[in-house]
Chain A
Amino acid sequence: MRANNILISIIRGLFIVPQKRNVGSVERIASAAAGATLTAMALRNIRHTPHRLIPGAYLLWRGASGYCPLYNAIEADTTEGAEAFEFSRSFTILRDRKDLYNYWHDFNNLPGIMEHVTQVAPLTANKYLWQAQFNGQKFEWQAEITEDEEYKKISWESVDDYDVRNSGSVIFSDAPKGGTEIKVQVKYFPAKTKLGRLVAKALNPAFKQMLREDLRNLKRKMETNEIVVN
């Protein structure tokens, strides 16, 4: 990214209310402490050099908010376990957008096409308990529907404090020669340890392949009403 763009991002970042944190807790304390010292020093000569307040104030704000516009601009993140893995996969399926949306929206259908998902049980109107099995290990998480645009898009986000933290969306759009283009974007956050990050990195290609196979199963099911076996 060019230096100009980074600068613009920083300036823009200073004027928005931070939506997320990207500074780790140790770094936040250090940032706040350094900011406080610089501010105290600048206050002594505030009449002659008021501009010296800026760096201190910035570091204080950064420490207090846990958000760094520079990190955001260069896509860095030092919060514990915050390194998110993100990927997307698209498939064209010869069925109406409506049918596909309805099929996906009935979450009971998903274990039928997702190899590792064993059950999706509704908890409230918008919240579901997901259960999955991977290499004999059971996982579960709760996810909330965060966006539901009829026949177009469904987004979800996992509720905090579960093994599997993820968010994503599925977008349905008309394919130019008939059928529907379905695009699934998934973002997941590995466990909050270094090991968790390493494991997630190693498994990332497998997750991508899993998503591809799950979507392929959806295509098979929706086009032929069967998932072919040999």
Chain B
Amino acid sequence: MKALVYEGVKELKVQSIPDPEILQDTDAIVKVSLSSVCGSDLHLLNGYVPTMKSGDVLGHEFIGEVVETGKKIKKIKKGDRVVVASVIGCGHCHYCRHDEWSLCDNTNPNAWIPEKLYGDTTAGIFGYSHAFGGFAGSHAEYIRVPFADFGAFPIPEGVSNDKAVFASDALPTGYMAADFCDIKKGDIVAVWGCGGVGQMAINSAYHLGAERVIAIDRIPDRLHLAQTKAKAEVLNFEDTDILEAIKEMTGGRGPDCCIDAVGMEAYNNGADYYYDKLKQTLRLQTDRPTALRQTIQSCRKGGVVSVVGVYAGLIDKFPMGALMNKALTIRAGQMHAQRYIPHLLDLLQQEKLDSSYLLTHKWDLQRGAEGYKMFNDKKDNCMRVVFEP
């Protein structure tokens, strides 16, 4: 089959590789119909997450058709149109039973790597480096889905493929970010980053009862979409002093909840960006936390900082004093897809949320490398390129 293969930092190529096979009784094979790029892929592609190997297949946000099932598969069957959670959960361990699927104990064959890095293992993730299991990703014609009874969800009638594909990752991640905020009547939420996850976080915050949502980015078309599609009040950090502006917009208090939907490759136009970039280049820190610093600095006293942008390792100049003295709560995590997907599919069916506007480009997988370059360079108003293998 054909697949988009990682060959080295910023090097991708479509290659012919062997078809996946059922390896365990709880596996399914899914014929991929749509597979999206994700901002977190860029961290892998740009060499900021170690343990990528030449030959790895990227992609973790996808939908498709079940074409083969292992002997013990009960809930899904051949021919089902399914959306698959990007994190793999076994369904049986303490964490899966408590709906904390991205913390699954049992689905990372390379559990020892995160154990060394983070002190404990995390769940396996499709196409997301060997630290997260070394599973083949979805930018391919077929994909093997382990523990498919827990990770693959039939897509209900009336939910188009263009909407459903984002129920795999961007939508549940954004929804979880808003869910972390524990939104109450009258709450103001601020969202850093207006990419796919940020857009879904804005929509979800409103859905969960936020009074106002402020969105921060620097790319005009993303801000435009945040404003028109998600009804956010927008701020462009290239021409605005964010901390000042947010204070003014919130009666001097600061937002009740601040969401970091940016992560480790944050950009801004201040001196701290160059400081972080230099330290990251010199490997003195692995992540650039400029957005995270702003969320903590801006948040109202006693508020919640919700981190769903991806961090991989160490950061520098973390405003611990602000966090402590303002008594902030920080909540973070890879998303627990399996907890949210059934509810989100219902909301998509009832048209209470819309995710389809994230899809700005639908391309053949053959143009995979070009698609990632456009997405990385934020060209051609690209929010998400979605490949049709």
Using CB atoms and an 8 Å cutoff, list the residues of chain A in contact with chain B: 92, 94, 177-179, 209, 212-213, 216, 219-220, 223-224, 226, 228-230
Contacts and interface: CB of A to CB of B under 8 A. Distances in A.
A226 to B, nearest CB: 5
Contacts, number: 50
Interface stretch (B23-31, B74-82, B287-295): B23-31
Interface residues of B, number: 25
B135 A230 contact: yes
B94 interface: yes
Nearest to B25: A226
A92 B93 CA distance: 10
B94 A226 contact: no
Interface of B: 23-26, 90-94, 97, 105-112, 124, 133-136, 146-147
A15 B58 CA distance: 69
A213 B106 contact: no
Is the contact region of chain B dominated by helix, strand, or loop, or is it mixed? loop
Given A178-B94, A228-B107, A230-B110, 6 more contacts: A209-B112, A220-B106, A223-B105, A224-B106, A224-B147, A229-B24
Contact of A230 (B90, B93, B105, B134): B134
Contacts of A94: 92-94, 97
Given A224-B106, A228-B124, A230-B133, A212 B112 contact: yes
B124 to A, nearest CB: 7
A223 B97 CA distance: 11
Contacts of A216: 111
A179 B23 contact: no
- A-B complex: 9 closest residue pairs judged by Cβ atoms: A230-B134, A224-B90, A223-B92, A230-B109, A220-B106, A230-B135, A224-B92, A226-B24, A224-B106
B106 A223 contact: yes
A179 B109 contact: no
Contact of A229 (B23, B91, B94, B112): B23
A212 B111 CA distance: 10
A209 B116 CA distance: 11
Nearest to A175: B94
Contacts of B23: 229
